[in-house]
Amino acid sequence: MSYKKENSIVRIEDKTFKKFLNESEIKRIVKKLAVKLNRDFKNKKPIFLIVLNGSIFFGADLLREIKLDCSLKTISAKSYGDNMTSSGYVEIKESEFDIEGKDIIVIEDIVDSGYTLAKLKELLETKKPASIKIVTLLSKPSRRQIDVKIDYIGREIPDKFVIGYGLDFAEKGRNLPDIFALEKE
Ligand code: IMP
Ligand code: MG
């Protein structure tokens, strides 16, 4: 698979991605979300649940801004389909954990169809937490197939496929510090 990075352009195979959100904009968005979470969960001891792999960078940066007495867990979710759209079939690798009576904050990178979050929420609910809130860096509201409540949204974006800052195209591009959007052919 060919990969080429220039200043504001990334090419993977025959696809061209253009810079869409730069590092400093991402940082601002993350900080704003952290301010809200610090305020809303004051005096609580939430468990942050990072949804792997996409949310690794966002989760790590967000948590460094969190001042609460909190803990961190991870869960792995994969939605099968082609490289850009969800099939609606979501596989969640459940780790053994007890969240009964706890306040859970799920950290997502991006919400597209909503299938991943809906499935994850359903699974978490069976474990009887006190509450489940969702924070996502990005959301594409026009792509939603299933109605799922998102409590904290960093930035709503149009129907664009994006990579970087943890987000991938066929596992490529996660390491980019900025976010790039696919140019329509
Ligand atoms: P959903 O289940 O369709 O809401 O999609 C959720 C998952 O698909 C996200 O957590 C991402 O991992 C992936 N995804 C959705 N849109 C994009 C995108 O634009 N770029 C990269 N990954 C995406
Ligand atoms: Mg994800």
> What is the model's pLDDT at position 81?
64
60's enclosing H/E stretch is helix 56-63
Q: Which of 133, 177, 135, 155 is nearest to 29 (CA)?
A: 155
Question: What residue ranges of the chain have pLDDT lower than 50?
Answer: none
CA dihedral angle for residue 102, residue 105, residue 106, residue 111, rounded to 10 degrees = 140
Residue 157, CA atoms < 13 Å, CB-side half-sphere? 22
Say if ligand 1 is within 6 A of residue 115 CB.
yes
Ligand 1 centroid to Cα of residue 173, in Å, is 14
Residues 78 and 107: beta-carbon distance below 8 Å: no
Say if ligand 1 is within 6 A of residue 116 CB.
yes
Residues 19 and 6: beta-carbon distance below 8 Å: no
**Phi, psi (rounded to 5 degrees) for 23:** -50, -45
CA atoms of 37 and 120, how far apart (whole Å)? 21
> What is the model's pLDDT at position 1?
80
Say if ligand 1 is within 6 A of residue 53 CB.
no
Index of the ligand 1 atom closest to the CA of residue 115: 2
Peptide bond before 38: cis, by omega within 30 degrees of 0? no
Q: Which of 166, 171, 152 is nearest to 32 (CA)?
A: 152
Ligand 2 centroid to Cα of residue 165, in Å, is 12
Residues 19 and 180: beta-carbon distance below 8 Å: yes
Residue 112 appears among annotated catalytic residues: yes
pTM of the entire predicted model: 0.94
